[in-house]
Every structure is written in C-alpha cells, then in structure tokens.
Amino acid sequence: MTTALTAAVAKKYHSRDYPVVRSQIAEWGQSRPLDGARVLDATPLFTNTLAKLLPLIAAGAKVSVGVHPDVPADPAVVALLPDLGIDVVAGASTEAEFDVILDCAGRHRGVTSTHGYAELTHSGLAHYAGSLQPVVMVDESPLKLLETMFGTGESFGRALDHLNARPANNRVVVFGAGKVGSGIALNAIGQGLSVTMIDRPNAANFAHAPIIDLRDVEAVTDALSNAGVIVTATGVAGAVAEFAEAIVASNAIVANMGVDDEFGPDVPVDRVLNGKAPVNFVLAEPTLMRYMDPIFALSNAAAVDLITGNVPPGIHPPNPSIDAAIAAHLRETHSNLDELTFIERLLTHPL
C-alpha cells in the first residue's frame, strides 16, 4: 500500500513540497508510534490529502479514510483509494470502532474511538462541546492560520478565476471577520479591491478592514445592495439567513467559504457559486500543499499524542511543543517564511 500511495503522491508533488510531512515519514518510520493503531482520517479528501496518510502508515497505523457527504472530496481521489489498498468508510458509520479519529467539522463525533478525536476545523468545536473523551482542536494552533487565513484567501481568488466569475464592481463584502474572512479580505485588498467586513465590532479582523456591526441591519443591507462580491466565512450554519432577501436581490457574485450552508434555505442553491459548498472546493487543489503541509502534520501529531495518552479528557489545543517543532522545521526548509513572520507579529509572541 505504501509504495502505491507514495507513487500516487509523487505524480503530483515533489518531496520538497511537503517538508514537514516528509520529516514525519522519516521519523515515524523508525519509531513506529502508531504501531497497530486503528486510525480513521476524515480530512477533506483531495490529491494533496494523500500525502497526509503516508506518515500515519509509516508510523504503523491501520488507516481508513472517512468520506462523509457533508465534507467535500474529489470523487476521483475517493475512487482511487481501493486501488491503493486503503479502506473507505462512507458516512459516519457507528458500527466500526477506531483507536483515533482525525475528524473534520465534527461529522464523525458519533463514531466510537478508544483514545479520542482530533478536530480539524473551528466549525467542529460545537459538536465536541462537553465531550468526556480527549479531543485535540487542531484549529486552535497558531499555525492553522497558514491554512485558514493565507491558504483560503489565496484559494478564494483562484476559485473565482477558475469559475470565470467577474464581479460588476470592486466592492467585496465578507461576512465573518475571523481567520478565514480575514484571509479573504487580505487577499482582496492585495488585489486593490475595496473590502467591507460584517461581524461584531470586537471580532478578530486580522485584515484591519472596515467593519459593519452585524446587528446594524440597515447598514448591512446597504452594503449588500452595492456589493460586487458577497462571501460568507462565519463557520456557522444559517449565519446570514436574515439577510437572504437582500443577498438574492443583489447583483453580486455570491459564495460560501464555510463547511456548512451559511445562507439558509431562503437563498437558492443556484444563487451561490458551487451550490453553497465551499467555493474553493471547486478546485482540484482547494488549498495549496504549501499551506496544508504543516496542518496535515499537526493533525497527524495529534493522533500520536492521543495514542500515547498525553491528552486528558475534554477539548485541548495541540501540544505547544509540536507547534514549535513544526514552525522550526518550516524555517529550516525556508517554507512560508513571510506568513510565519506575519503570524508572529499578529499574535505578539513567537511560534
């Protein structure tokens, strides 16, 4: 299985494209920290996700891949898995039992795990609230900004280009001033576009773009009526449902960047690019490997921490020493240096 999987990854990527994952392959191939462990990996499945599986297998894990209808995946990659000897678990089956579940958006929270869960996204946090088992929230790592801010910001623009979506004007309205929304805003500002963000005034707003209070319905409605692009990035299902009428009536290009339908039922599916699914998942590579490599490694490392019993019951961020080691490796390999510097300044302390 490893040979076929390695070959499949090598068709698309050079080993230097995923330096942190590559280091895990080398290290864990010797130490075998997951020897015999049953691991269900439910990361959104695209070609670059295949590289994430290599360290788990090198570590001795028996890896299955979870494919859920609510989590985007490339059908061609899903179809390839049996040929690579990888078991596919469709939906959130409650019949199987695993030692560790590497989840996304909480879709596999009901699947039995003997040692706990690692959740990739902020949208999955609510699903694990009150969990009595160990849960590692990968999204709480500062390094997750590489994906959620820089990666999604880049991929949002790339997706609009891919779809040949041409806005009527240069005004971009972003619902959600957190990490994903800020990344979209930063990318748009870098292209000379005018950005307005909609959230509570105390939202993160890492892009420092003008912000309208979500509770100011008149101001929000006015911004929507004049927008060239409207994008949701709140991470909350139905978050903008109260503005459905204004969104539908606008001349804007409309897109979602969250896992869930943030528009609600009154905004028709065909009014939103990619049928309300995250618009960047229309791409063969929704987020570039350079941004996913350290996040794949964070999720994988959480599996090792869970198996070794280093995570107590309840929800916890990734081990800070793992964050530091990954950041150091990125610097050693001259990967994402500008982004790391930005994150360090943003958080006012080194990673």
Same domain, 190 and 223: yes
* Domain C-terminal end among 282, 301, 327: 282
* Secondary structure (DSSP) of 84-131: GT-EEEES--SS-EESEEEESTTTTTTSEESS-EEE-SGGGHHHHTT-
Same domain, 260 and 188: yes
- And the tokens for 147? 């994906």
- For position 241, what pLDDT does the model report? 97
Helices 320-332 and 19-31, packing angle to 10 deg: 120
- For position 259, what pLDDT does the model report? 82
- For position 350, what pLDDT does the model report? 45
Give dist(CA 34, CA 276) in Å, integer. Answer: 37
- For position 1, what pLDDT does the model report? 53
Burial 185-194 (b: 16+ CB within 10 A, else e): bbbbbeeebb
Same domain, 32 and 136: yes
Burial class (CB in 10 A: 0-12, 13-18, 19+), 247: buried
Q: Long-range contacts made by residues 28-33, C-beta under 8 angstroms, separation at least 24?
A: 28/55, 28/58, 28/59, 28/60, 28/304, 29/58, 29/59, 31/59, 32/59, 32/60, 33/59, 33/60, 33/304, 33/307, 33/308
Same domain, 94 and 12: yes
Same domain, 6 and 135: yes
How do beta strands 117-119 and 112-113 pair? unpaired
CATH code, 249: 3.40.50.720
Number of domains the chain is built from: 2
Same domain, 276 and 295: no
Same domain, 268 and 183: yes
- For position 258, what pLDDT does the model report? 87
> What residue type is 315 in one-letter code?
I
Residue found by looking up tokens 């694990």 in the block: 128
Q: What radius of gyration do the chain's Cα atoms show? A: 20
| Strand order from edge to edge, sheet including 100-103 | 87-90, 62-67, 38-41, 100-103, 117-119, 134-137, 314-316
> What residue type is 254 in one-letter code?
V
Residue 338's domain spans which residues?
Answer: 2-144+287-347
Same domain, 17 and 132: yes
Same domain, 167 and 222: yes
- For position 349, what pLDDT does the model report? 55
Give dist(CA 84, CA 23) in Å, integer. Answer: 22
* Domain C-terminal end among 282, 300, 333: 282
Same domain, 237 and 124: no
* Domain C-terminal end among 282, 298, 321: 282
Same domain, 71 and 14: yes
> Which stretches of the chain score pLDDT less than 70?
1, 94, 348-351
Helices 289-307 and 19-31, packing angle to 10 deg: 30
Beta bridge partners of 172: 195, 229
Same domain, 140 and 39: yes
Give dist(CA 60, CA 53) in Å, integer. Answer: 11
CATH code, 45: 3.40.50.1480
CA atoms within 13 A on the CB side of 148: 26
